[in-house]
Structure formats: C-alpha cells, structure tokens
Amino acid sequence: MIDKDLKRLARNAPPPLEDAKRQAFDAALQAFDKAGPEKKRAAQGSAAEGRLSRIATSIRSGLMNQRYMAGTALATLMILPAAAYMTWQIVRDQHGFEPALLAPLETGRSAGPDMAMEKPLPPAARQQDMERTDAAPPPALNPIGAPQQGMQRTSPLQTGSEYGQASAQRLQDGMVRSPDYPVPQIEAGGDRVEAVESHGVKSVLEEPVSTFSADVDTASYAMVRRALRQGVMPTPETVRVEELVNYFPYAYPGPDDAETPFRATVTVTPTPWNSDTQLLHIGVKGYDITPAERPAANLVFLIDVSGSMNEADKLPLLKSAFRLLIDTLDPDDRVSIVTYAGEAGTVLEPTPVSDKRAILDAMDTLRPGGSTAGAAGLAEAYRLAEKGFKEGGVNRVMLATDGDFNVGQSDDGSLTAMIEQKRKSGVFLSIFGFGQGNYNDQLMQAIAQNGNGVAAYIDTLAEAEKSFVQEASASLFPIASDVKFQIEFNPAMVAEYRQIGFETRALNREDFNNDRIDAGEIGSGHTVTAIYEITPVGSPAVLNSDLRYGEERPATSEFGDELAFLKIRAKAPGAPESQLTEIPVRREAEAGSFGSAPEDVRFSIAVAAFGQKLRKTDQVAAFGYDEIERIAREARGEDPFGYRSEFLQLVRLAEGLDR
C-alpha cells in the first residue's frame, strides 16, 4: 500500500495539513532520538555511512504505527514530510550531492520536477565530506579550492512551533535551503551571533554621558580571521570592533605596584577618515603580576565531547591547547576534567599539576560521541570547582565547546542566571570556542560575561598558544573586577560623539555607581582600549541641528580647556565595594598630528577602522583598505609574535574580497 501511495504522490501530491505536519515532524524527531548515539548525528555532526537507512526505517515505522494512519488518504498526507526527508538522505548517500530544499513544510508547495539540485562536488571534496562527522554541506569550490562568496550555509530551520530551533536543527542541519527561505540574521556557516546596531552619533547637549563595561574578549577577531582565510567576507554581525582592537597587546604605561590595579592614558588625535572630527583614545593597562605574586589556581576543564567534536580543528586541537596551558601552571595548582555529551561525567577529580602525567593521560582518553548536555556539564564542573576551592586563589571553570547546548537546560536566560549565581561563590567561567557550523557565539558571550571570564575563539594552534601561553596570566589571574567606564563630554568644547564598538557592553548611566551591577574583568597585564569619535563645537561635521526649545550651548566653560571627564570604577578581586578613578581630559592630551601620536594608538585606530569597514559603518565607507594598511604598517612597531603582521595580511585579503 505504501508503494502505491508514494507513486500517487509522485503524480499529484496534495499540500500537507498543518496538524499532519506537526505530528509527522514530531514522530521523525522521536525516531531520530531513538536511533542511538552511535547511529545518529549529534547536534552539529553526523555519524558514519549506514546511519540513514536505520533512521528512515524508524521514521516510516513510527508513522505507520500511529492511530491516525488508518486511512490511506490520511496516510498519504502524513508521510509526505518524512518521504521528502528519506528521499534527501538516499540521494545524498548514493550520489554525493545535496538536493536543494524548497521548503514544502513552510509554503505547502510540493516538490515538482523543476526542483533545483546542487552540482556534484569534485571527487576530493566529496571524499572529504564523507569522512567528516559533520554533515553540513561544504561550500561550493572554485578552481583553486577557495569557497565562493555567496555560497553560504544558512541558519537552522525556523519552524515557529514549540519544538524550537534545537529540534529543527537536528533534523534539518546540513540541508541546503532555497534563497527565499526565511532565515534569521546570523553568521555564514550557521554560527549563532547577536545582531546589534553600531553606535550612532549623539548630541552632547542631549546625552552628555556614555557608560560601558570593560571588555577583554577576543573571539570576534579569530572568527573574522577564519572567514577571510576561507575566502569569504565575515558577516557584519560577527564583527565586534572592540574585540578586534583588544586582540593585540599594547605597551601602554602601566601602574608601578599592585596597590594601583591599572593606569589609564588618554590621547586625542585627528581622525584619519574625517578631517573635521577627532578621536579620543583611552588606553588602560593592568598591573602585571610577577610569578611570585601569582595566586594558586583551581581549574576545571569542562570539555564538549559530543559527536560533532570529531574534527581536526575541534577535539584534537582542544587537547593540544589544554596541554599548552598545563605547561604554564605551577605544581601546586589543581586541575579537574569534566566532559559532556549525552550526559555529563567526571574524567579527573581535582589533581595537582605536579602529577602532570595523570592529567595528560586523562586528556588522552577523551573521545567524541553523543549529543550536547552542556548545562549538566556546567553543574558538574561547578561542583568540582567548589570541591577543590582555593581560598584567596583563582577558582575557574574553563569551558571548551564547538556549539550549542541542546539537551536539558538550554535557554540563554536560565543558563546566564545559573552562571551569575555561581559567580557569587567565587568560581568564575571562561569560554573557549572551537570549530564552525553551529557555534553559539551569542550564548557563549552571555555566559562568559556573567561568569566574570573571557570569551576566546581557538581556530589554530597558534591561537591556542597566544591564549594559553602568551596571555595565560591575563586570562587566569584578575587584578580588577566589575570595571566600568563613564565619560562626560563638555558641551562647550564637544558638540557630538560616537563610541566605536562596545555595543554589547553598554550600561545605563545609573549603573556606574551601583556596585551590584556586574561588569567586565581586567586580568594581569591586560590592556583595554576604547575609542570615541568626537566632533568639536563649530566643526562642519556636526550632524544634529540645534533644538528650537532646547538648552543653549554654553559659550564658555568654568572647566577651561577640558574636552571631557573620564571616570573608572573597579573592585579589587573579592572586594565588595568599588574604587573610583577620575581623569580630566584636557587639550594638552591632543597630538599635534595623527602621525605624532604613539605607535600603539595609531595601530589600534587602524584596527578600529578595519572593524568598522567590515561592519559597513557609514563613517568609514570612503576610507580605503589601502589607507588602513598604510597606517597599520607605519605603526606596526615591535611585533615579536607576528600578530600585527598577520593583521596586515587580513586587511589585504579583505581588500581583494570586498569588491
């Protein structure tokens, strides 16, 4: 009977009923889950060949056993979505290419003979795809093997039902969507990022105060680098300008002793991309503790070992990265290892680093497989961190993952609430992302911010060496917490301002003096850079007209030549109350010309211009990549690890791609 039904469907397929779609979809997902971790793909990956027939059979039998399948006509309606799914799986396995999905579940259209099909992949690419556990289709290749711009994998299917994105992802991940299929704004490749608007120009008369939290995360820079090296322009939503700027170490003047946790330096320069404005540059340097001053560390490695981690740039790279970190620790420091896939498990109880062999042997046992029960892993990691808690030391969970949490507690709100509660116990959280295709950058940023930790992205072993060796002290040992900045502009001197970056770190004005409001950390030796574009009073670059009924701009100011007044609040580690630092920004901070500004200031401004260019910010639309490269090259200075030279290469790549 089923064969006859399918033949009849091939000739004239009726549109499925909404009820039938939901029930069939649910049955398909249940069958998928019952297929077993060794036969089904995990959240972002897929198992080896042979899995598909089992899943297809299970879907078919699950549908046929339902009460509503008694009538043949109704059975025809119910099996349509499952039939499309099974057909896709069969074609993919037998022919090595991906049929395009024309979204019949959304539109009600049947798949007719004019269905578009993707071109077969080259043999080498098809073989590589078959060997991968992630079933996401590889990008179309040009003759030299670079992905063609525009051939991008889109987001998880948006069903609008109670099943949500996580369930839809398990069924639909890897399918090519038609161009007209509705998708959210996310980064190419399926990674989830928070889409935020860049800061606009603000009138000082109306909004004289800007408040924001410190940010020392660097994940966005590595994601931008990954995209450019793959031959595609990064999606603007993945570009957080402050993370590009703060990726680089800067030799700003630092404090002389630990009693002063950081020092701020302010420089005002002409704007390279607008001769009628200026840039107000704030450079903060944290106190760099010596090895003898380092507190003891209690670290819990929380490692994602779900099936999708079985790729060279995921679990193998992760193991190598953590090996590098272990080599930087003291013998009395402690390390624990917790893994999570379908469920969480403890691989290594708190162990002193002096027993390095036991730690490395435990790392070597890690194997990928299963789904992604991240919340359960976090709970177990915090339990171990509290078990090995070091009073007066650093107690931190270090989460390494390639994707989303799709088993158990997984919504952003409840996870961040749990992280915030644990933070109060003195256990902090840092995030290290690996791989691509389903990386939930938005969630990782949120929980890292709430966990008083950094969010980094590890795409190469060189990046692992930077994060875990060169910047180990900065990542692990905080010298100030809840660091907040507030700058008030003098309306007699400055007409307008625009903050460059820090969109996700904006605070309300009243948050600055409220010590209960969380903010970012500064680690040992960390630098934080913030940049404002300011428009002087009387400049032709002023965009806002004067208000008819508003307050008039003062002709003079009792504060003389002050452009602005900078205030910084920060707590010493573990302290309940913050300390206030105040810095007036006077005309004496102005550089005579842009070229006379310090090298670090000019290089960071070049990086800020590049980030704005990638975000398609209007203010730098006419500013060329060649000018950005020139400024960065002239201000490269000492570059012992080659980070700045690499940046110059990325600028050239972007110039070639952005045409």
Q: Which residue has the higher pLDDT, 360 or 341?
A: 360
Q: Are residues 316 and 208 in the same domain?
A: no
Query: What pLDDT does 4 receive?
Result: 58
Same domain flag for 325 and 437 = yes
pLDDT at 406: 58
* Predicted confidence (pLDDT) per residue in 180-229, tens digit: 333 333 444 578 888 899 999 999 999 999 999 999 999 999 999 999 99
pLDDT band with cut points at 50, 70 and 90 for residue 447: confident
pLDDT of 412 reads 59
Three-class DSSP labels, 531-593: EEEEEECCCCCCCCCCCCCCCCCCCCCCCCCEEEEEEEEEECCCCCCCEEEEEEEEHHHECCC
Within a domain: 571:
yes
Which of 291-300, 424-433, 531-540: highest mean pLDDT?
A: 531-540
CATH number at residue 428: 3.40.50.410
CATH number at residue 568: 2.60.40.1230
Assess if residue 90 is contained within a domain.
yes
Residue 38 pLDDT grade (very low, low, confident, very high; cuts 50, 70, 90): very low
- The enclosing H or E element of 364 equals helix 356-364
Helix segments in 427-523, DSSP class H: 441-450, 461-465, 472-476
Looking only at the bridges linking them, the beta strands covering 262-271 and 494-500 are: unpaired
If one counts the domains in the chain, the total is 3
Residues 154, 208, single domain; the answer is no
Instruction: Find the angle CA(46)-CA(50)-CA(55) to the nearest 5 degrees.
Output: 75
Query: What pLDDT shows up at residue 179?
Result: 32
Both 269 and 372 in a single domain? Answer: no
What is the per-residue pLDDT across 231-284, written as a single tens digit (0 to 9) for each?
999 999 999 999 999 999 999 999 988 888 999 999 999 999 999 999 999 999
Identify the domain containing residue 412 by its residue range: 302-448
* pLDDT band at 308; cut points 50, 70, 90: confident
Q: pLDDT tens digits, residue range 351-372? A: 999 999 999 999 999 988 866 6
Is the pLDDT confidence value at 622 over 70?
A: yes
pLDDT digits (tens, 9 = 90+) for 95-109: 444 444 333 333 333
Higher pLDDT, 562 or 162: 562
Q: Are 18 and 156 contained in the same domain? A: yes
User: Is residue 306 located within the same domain as residue 285?
Assistant: no
Q: Are residues 271 and 338 in the same domain?
A: no
Q: Note the pLDDT of residue 544.
A: 92
| 3-state secondary structure string across 458-480 | ECCHHHHHHHHHHCHHHHHCEEE
Residues 587 and 650 in one domain: yes
Residue 197 counted as domain residue:
no
Together in a domain, 528 and 413: no
Give 233's contacts (C-beta < 8 A, 6+ positions apart).
Answer: 149, 227, 614, 654, 657, 658
pLDDT computed for residue 341 by the predictor: 85
Residue 549 domain flag? no
| Amino acid in position 455 | A
What's the CA gap between 609 and 484, in Å, rounded? Answer: 24
**Based on the domain organization, do 601 and 652 belong to the same domain?**
yes
- Is residue 307 scored above 90 in pLDDT? no
Q: pLDDT-based confidence at 34, cuts 50/70/90?
A: low
Residues 312/569, Cβ–Cβ less than 8 Å: no
The string of pLDDT tens digits covering residues 464-522 is 999 988 888 888 888 999 999 999 999 999 999 999 999 999 999 999 999 999 999 99
- Reading the block at residue 64, the tokens are 């046929």
Together in a domain, 228 and 249: yes
Residue 564 placed within a domain:
yes
468 domain residue, yes or no: no
- Six-digit token pair at 521? 């950390």
456 within a domain of the structure (yes/no): no
Top pLDDT among 638 and 57 is at 638
Ramachandran angles phi, psi of 107, nearest 5° = -100, -20
Q: If you count them, how many residues does the chain have?
A: 659
In this prediction, residues 125-139 reach a mean pLDDT of: 41
Q: Are residues 18 and 90 in the same domain?
A: yes
* Residue position matching structure tokens 């790392």: 363
CA distance 296 to 331: 10
Examine the pLDDT at 458 and tell me if it is beyond 90. yes
What are the C-alpha distances in Å from 271 to residues 200, 388, 534, 536, 606?
Answer: 17, 51, 9, 12, 11
Q: What percent of the chain has pLDDT over 70?
A: 69
The lowest-confidence range among 138-142, 465-469, 624-628 is 138-142
